[in-house]
């Protein structure tokens, strides 16, 4: 097997897709560059052209996850822009994008957050996390300017929103799409109105 030649159109993408499947089915401990090479039909040394070791593979997988999540959030914002939505609709659109990603790829999301907290996480990963948070932060700041969100530190508010959505996704694992969507609407309304009596 080791003498198999390296010929592959887009080996990096193939390895990442295969790694994500393995992650979802068997967890990060089951990931092996040698096994991924076997599945891709290339020599065991070929993945080294893209990932120097398993940690580099995990970092790339996490980064790819954050990039996909960011693209989903940006698409949600674009759709709300086109609809001329208010802050509540913006937040609900972002919430649906985030929770949809989290429920579709829970193992990947776990890896994404685990790697971002690692002391040796690459700078690219920190930048991707920053971009994701900036999308939420921009929505909060716009809502404050429009008078639809209370004054205060937008970073603290964005952190509250992001934490709530992450927790909601964790609690919603295994629930039906209909129940998740209905519950998500309630959560966003509570975020906007607060917990105090009205």
22 contacts 38 by C-beta, under 8 angstroms = no
pLDDT(119) > 80: no
Each residue of 77-108: b (16+ CB within 10 Å) or e? beebeeeeeebbebbbbbbbbbbbbbbebebb
Span between the terminal Cα atoms of the chain, in Å: 69
Taking CA atoms, 122 is separated from 56, 77, 190, in Å, by: 9, 28, 36
Encoded tokens for 116: 């971002």
Confidence of residue 6 (pLDDT cuts 50, 70, 90): very low
**Nearest CA-CA partner of 132 in 79, 69, 62, 76:** 69
Is it the case that residue 1 has pLDDT exceeding 70? no
Express each pLDDT in 23-44 by its tens digit. 999 999 898 888 888 888 888 8
Instruction: Tell me how far apart the alpha carbons of residues 17 and 39 are, in angstroms, rounded to a whole number.
Output: 11
**CA angle in degrees (0–180, nearest 5) for 47-53-56:** 95
Token representation of residue 101 = 């990603």
Task: Indicate whether this model's pTM tops 0.75.
Answer: yes
What residue has token string 């994500």?
Answer: 20
């Amino acid at each position: 097997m080791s003498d198999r030649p390296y010929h592959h159109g887009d080996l990096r993408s193939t390895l990442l897709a295969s790694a994500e499947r393995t992650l979802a089915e068997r967890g990060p401990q089951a990931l092996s560059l040698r096994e991924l090479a076997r599945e891709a039909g290339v020599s065991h040394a070929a993945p080294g052209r893209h990932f120097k070791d398993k940690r580099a593979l995990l970092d790339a997988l996490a980064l790819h996850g954050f990039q996909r999540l960011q693209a989903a959030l940006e698409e949600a914002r674009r759709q709300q822009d086109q609809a001329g939505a208010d802050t509540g609709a913006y937040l609900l659109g972002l919430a649906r994008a985030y929770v949809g990603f989290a429920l579709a790829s829970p193992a990947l999301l776990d890896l994404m957050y685990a790697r971002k907290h690692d002391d040796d996480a690459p700078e690219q990963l920190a930048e991707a996390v920053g971009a994701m948070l900036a999308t939420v932060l921009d929505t909060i700041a716009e809502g404050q300017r429009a008078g639809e969100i209370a004054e205060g530190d937008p970073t603290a508010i964005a952190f509250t929103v992001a934490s709530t959505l992450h927790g909601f996704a964790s609690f919603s694992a295994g629930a039906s799409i209909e129940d998740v969507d209905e519950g998500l609407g309630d959560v966003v309304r509570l975020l906007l109105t607060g917990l105090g009596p009205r």
